[in-house]
Structure 1
Amino acid sequence: MKPYKRIFTIVIDSMGIGAARDAADYQDSGCDTLGHIDEKMNTFQIPNLQKLGLANLKPLKHVAPVAEPIGYYTRMQEASCSKDTMTGHWEMMGLHITSPFKTFTDHGFPSELIEELEKRTGHKIIGNKAASGTEILDELAEEEIATGKMIVYTSADSVLQICGNEETFGLAELYRCCEIARELTMKEEWRVGRVIARPYIGKHKGEFKRTSNRHDYALKPFAPTVLNALKDQQYDVISVGKIKDIFDGEGISEAYKSKSSVHGMEQTIEIMDHDFNGLCFVNLVDFDALWGHRRNPIGYGEEIERFDEKLGTFLSKMKADDLLIITADHGNDPTYSGTDHTREDVPFLAYSPSHIGHGLLPVTDSFATIGATIADNFKVTMPKLGTSYLHRLK
C-alpha cells in the first residue's frame, strides 16, 4: 500500500535559500533571497514555516530554530543549467535541461522576428527591450492605447511578453497575437521558453495595473514527466496557479487559475475537501512577480507572512495519508543588483500528520528529488533524474 493518498507540492516561486555552489558562474555570488529578506524585515512572523523546520535549515535573524520541528527538511541544488521558472519546475518533475532557453535581454528581439510579428498580427510594435512590466506600461501604454500599437518586451528570462489594455486592445486580440508569437518563436533561433500575455487596465501613467488574465504559452516538455506518468495511470494531477501553463497542459487532469498567491492558497485549502487520489501541484507566483523582480524585500517578506498564515489553515486540515512538500523553483534576491532571478539552492520541507520522525535530510543534487519521491509513492515510472526520499519520510 502506498504511504500517501494525496501529495500537495507547493512552490513558493523564487524563495531561494542562498547562493548555489555554481552561483559565480551566473554572476550571482552572495545572493540569498530568504536570508536577505529576513535581514530587511523589522519583524518576521512565520510560525508555521518555523515549526516545519525552515529556521533549522536556514539560520535567520528574526526566526529561531525549534528544538523539535515537525517536518523533514533539506536544501536542493539545481542540476540543470539555468535559473528560470520552466527549468526549475521541469526539473522537479524529472527533466534535466542541459541547454538553456534563449534570452534576448541585451538587445531585444531580432528585427526579422519583429517584422514578421508585425506582419502577422497587423500591429506596429513598440518597446522591444528588456524591461520591468510596470515600467514598460508607464513608458508606453498611453501610446499603445492612442495608436493601437503593441507593446512587446522581454526580461532576463527566456520570454516574449505582449501587453494589451483589456478595454482598448481586448483580451481576445491579445491572446490571438500571443498565439502568433508562440508559433513564430518555435523557430530554433527565436525559441523562447514562454510567450506571456500581459493584460492591464488603466488609461494614464501611474494608474496602470496588470490583471489576473495573464496567460502563458509555454513550450511542451521535451519528454514525459512524472505528471504524465501519474495521469497515464489514472491518478489525479491537479494544478493551481501557473503550473498548467508551465507544462503546457501536459500531464494535468484538472486546473485552477489563481488571482494571487493568497488566492492560490485558498484554492488549495478548498481542494483539500475533495477526495482525490494523486498530486496537487501549486505555484504561488506573487513572491517572484510582485516583489522579487521589483526588488522589494519588505513586500516579499510580508507575502511570506501571508502565506504562512494560510499554511496554518492548511496544516490543520491535513489527513494522516496526506503529504505536504514545500519548495521553490529558483531564487530572486530582492536586495540584489538588476531584476533577474538568482542562482540559489531551494528548500525541501516535508510533513505528514502520520510522521513519527523529523529532522535534517541529506542535501540533494537535483530538484527532481520531488518528482522521484512522488513517483515512488504512487508506484509509477520513475524519472531518470532524482533520488526518491520516500523511505526517509516516516
Structure 2
Amino acid sequence: MQAVSELFKKNIRQYGMIIALVFITILFQILTEGILLKPLNITNLILQNSYILVLAIGMVLVIITGHIDLSVGSIAAFIGALSAIMMVDLQLPVYLAVILSLAAGALIGAWQGFWIAYIKIPAFIVTLAGMLLFRGLTMIVLGGQSIAPFPKAFQRISSGFIPDWLGGGEIHLLTVTLGILLSVLYIWQEFKDRRTQIKYNFDTAPIWMFTTKIVLLVAVINIFTFVLATYNGLPNILIILFFLIVIYSFVMNRMVAGRHIYAIGGNEKAASLSGVKTKRVTFWVFVNMGALAALSGLIFAARLNSATPKAGINFELDAIAACFIGGASASGGIGTVIGAIIGGLVMGVMNNGMSLIGLGVDWQQGIKGLVLLLAVAFDIYNKSKTN
C-alpha cells in the first residue's frame, strides 16, 4: 500500500485527471440515458475534438518551456483560408496544398519564435500580436466570404474512415484486429520497460499493480476499438492523432530534445549554463507549434468543408485549458503529451455531454472556466505541499 501511495503522490495530477475523466464520462452517460457512449457519438466526439487535441500537443511543449501561444486559433484560420485558395481557387493537388500549408504554418511559427527566442519579447505579447495579425489577414484573404467546397480527398482527412481490407460485414474487422495488435505491442513494451528497470535496480511497482494496470488498459483499448468497429471503424483523424501522440511522447520522454525542453522550463539560466542552446530550442518549439496549428486548421477546414473568416475562434483557449487541466504547470517545466490529451478529452466529454442534455452555451462556458480555475488551483496546492 505504501508503494501505491507513493506512486499516486508522484503522479497525482495525471491520475487525478484520469479519475475525473472516468467520473465525468459515467456521469454524462447516466444523464444522457446512454447516448454519450454510443458508437456514433463516440465517433463524433473524436471528430469534434481532433483539431483541439492536435493544438494541445503543440501547446503543452510551449507551456513546458514557460511560454504561452495565443495565436494558434488565428493561424489555424489563416492556413485554412490559404488551403482553400490553393485547392478550390487555384485547383492545386491536395497533397501539394497540404504540404505548402504545413510549411506556411512552420514559417509563421519561425517568425514568432524569432521575436521570442532571439529578441526576447515576451511570448504573450508576440502571440497576441500574431492573433490579431493573422485574424486580420484571414479576413483580407477571404474577403469576408467563405470558400467551399473542398475536394473529396481532402475532406476524408477529417471525416473519412480506414477501409476494412479484411472484408468484415457489420463489424469492422480491421479495427478489431488493430486493437488486438496494439494491445500486444503495449504488453510487450510494458514488460520490456519493467525488465530494464529491474536490471538497473530502479524502483518498480508491485507485480499485482503492474498486472492490474496492463489488464485495465488492454480492456479499454479493445472495448474502445470494438465499439468503433460496430459503426464505421477507425476515423482517419484518429490514426493521425495516434501517430502524433506516439512521436511526441517519444521525443519528450526518450530524446535529448525533450530533456532540453523540460530543462528550459525548469530553470532557463541553469539550462543555458549546462550547455543547452536555450534560444534555439525555444525557436524550434514555436516552429513546431506553427506547424501543428496549420495541421489543426486543415483538419477543421476539412471537417467544415469550407474556409470561413470566423474559423479558429477560441481554439487557443481550449488548447491552453486542455494542457493545464491535463497537468501542465503555469510556471513551466511540468507537463506531458498524454496529460494534454487527457485534459482535451475532459473538455471534449464535458462539451459533448452538456450539449446532449441541452445545457446552454452560457452555462457551458462558465463550467469550463470553473474547471480550469480548479485545475490550476490544484497544481498550486500540490506545489505548496511539496515545497
Higher relative contact order (Cα pairs below 8 Å, separated by 6+ residues): 2
Q: Does TM, scored on the shorter chain, surpass 0.5? A: no
Q: TM-score, normalised by structure 1?
A: 0.25
Q: TM-score, normalised by structure 2?
A: 0.25
**Which structure: greater strand fraction?**
1
**Which structure: greater helix fraction?**
2
